[in-house]
Amino acid sequence: MHAHLKTLNISVAAALLISVLSISPSGATPISNDSTLSAFPNTSNVSQPLSVVELPVPTMARVLDHLAAMPVLTPRQRKVARVAELRKRIAILGRKQVGDTYRAGSSGPNAFDCSGLTRYVFKQVTGLDLPHYSGAQYKMARKISRKNAQPGDLVFYLRGSAHHVGLYLGNGKMVHAVGRGKKVRIQPIFGPWYSRHFTGLGRVLPA
């Protein structure tokens, strides 16, 4: 008798446990088999969402402090900076003409006489149209001393006049269209012939 009651109690307890497990918290039919699970997409390969990193936004005060710390150029300083950039570009373009042919009366782009070379470079870089004659370029240029010469200045030769002109590159050198039968080249401004026939240096760019 006791054994029969024990068996009955176990059966009742098992039945109650099964009934509890078969009811979901919302009262819906529980998911209890593989066929039902297969109806849902497989999310095992879905990438995890990227984490968002918030960067600090500078306050207006910090921005104003940064701007206040930046150097403010005066009009004079801006002018000096512009001219320095022009000098650099003039020297670069002048060097690019090395090896071009000498041709009387020509001012580029692939053949030059002496004043045609300086005229071409200045026109391309600055927009300034120099006269196509070395004597006229000498007249319009402001005369400067050797110690004050800078890239982009003009070098003139043949004493008492200026029948030849070169483009000063700095470090005592110039690029020029030498003469008939010769190519545009870079040479010292005071070589053997040039020292004897040196006229002076002139500046066309602003000081």
From the candidates 66, 132, 163, 164, give the one annotated as an active-site residue: 164
164 is catalytic: yes
176 is catalytic: yes
Instruction: Residue 189: name the closest of 146, 130, 141 by CA.
Output: 146
Residues belonging to the chain: 207
Helix (H, G, I), strand (E, B) or coil at 147: helix
Q: Which of 165, 157, 206 is nearest to 184 (CA)?
A: 165
Catalytic residue among 4, 114, 132, 163: 114
The identity of residue 168, as a single letter, is Y
The whole-angstrom separation of Cα 59 and Cα 172 is 53
Q: Which DSSP state fits 132? A: S
Given 2, 132, 163, 176, the catalytic residue: 176
- Is 132 designated active site? no
Beta 198-203 vs 142-144: how paired, if at all? antiparallel
Residues assigned a catalytic role: 114, 164, 176
